[in-house]
Amino acid sequence: MKIHPKITEFLATGFFISYIPARLTGFKKFTGAGLFGTALALGLAPFLPESGCGYGVFLAVFLFFSVKVAGAASALYGTHDDPRIVIDEILGYWVAVAFMEKTIFSLTFAFIFFRIIDTLKPWPIKRLEQNTAGGFGIILDDVAAGIGANILTRALVLFKGILGY
């Protein structure tokens, strides 16, 4: 099933949120688009399924949907992982907060850890990005960054609990 180009762009850009950095700075580069995409994911987090099973099903469906949309957007823009595509950051952040209590503490630190990991792309994540083509390649590195952020957030929550805060 082919998605209409305007719908593809609307979904891939996080409802056009990835255009905001270029509009604010006046530059044609979309530097900061990933930050805006992640902020959108944070803002939508309260609307995600609460149950573990429901969340798992939601993530699986959104993963396949994201791969399709990211691949179509990549073809539309003529480049692999164009900065305007932020559906991968949205999914990555939702992986970062997966199966944990959605407190301000956990949501904030998952955001911080995800942005750091997604920006720096440490060795195994960078390799995933470089060696995987198409929509899946666009999505996979952000899912891996989300897993890393999830683990770090859980460790911090656990450490906070041990200290009694």
The pLDDT profile of the chain, 165 residues, written as one tens digit per residue, is: 678 999 999 999 999 999 998 888 776 665 789 999 999 999 999 999 999 999 999 999 999 999 999 999 999 999 888 999 999 999 999 999 999 999 999 999 999 999 999 999 888 888 877 778 899 999 999 999 999 999 999 999 999 888 776
Neighbours of 77 (CB within 10 A): 16
CA-wise closest residue to 42 among 86, 93, 83, 88 = 93
Distance CA 44, CA 31 (A): 22
- Residue pair 86/12 in contact (Cβ under 8 Å)? The answer is yes
Determine the distance from the C-alpha atom of residue 132 to the mean position of all C-alpha atoms in its chain, rounded to a whole number. 17
Please, what is the angle between helix 134-163 and helix 87-96, to 10°? 30
Domain that holds residue 11: 5-163
Q: What's the structural domain count of the chain?
A: 1
Whether pTM exceeds 0.75? yes
Please tell me the predicted confidence (pLDDT) of residue 94: 98
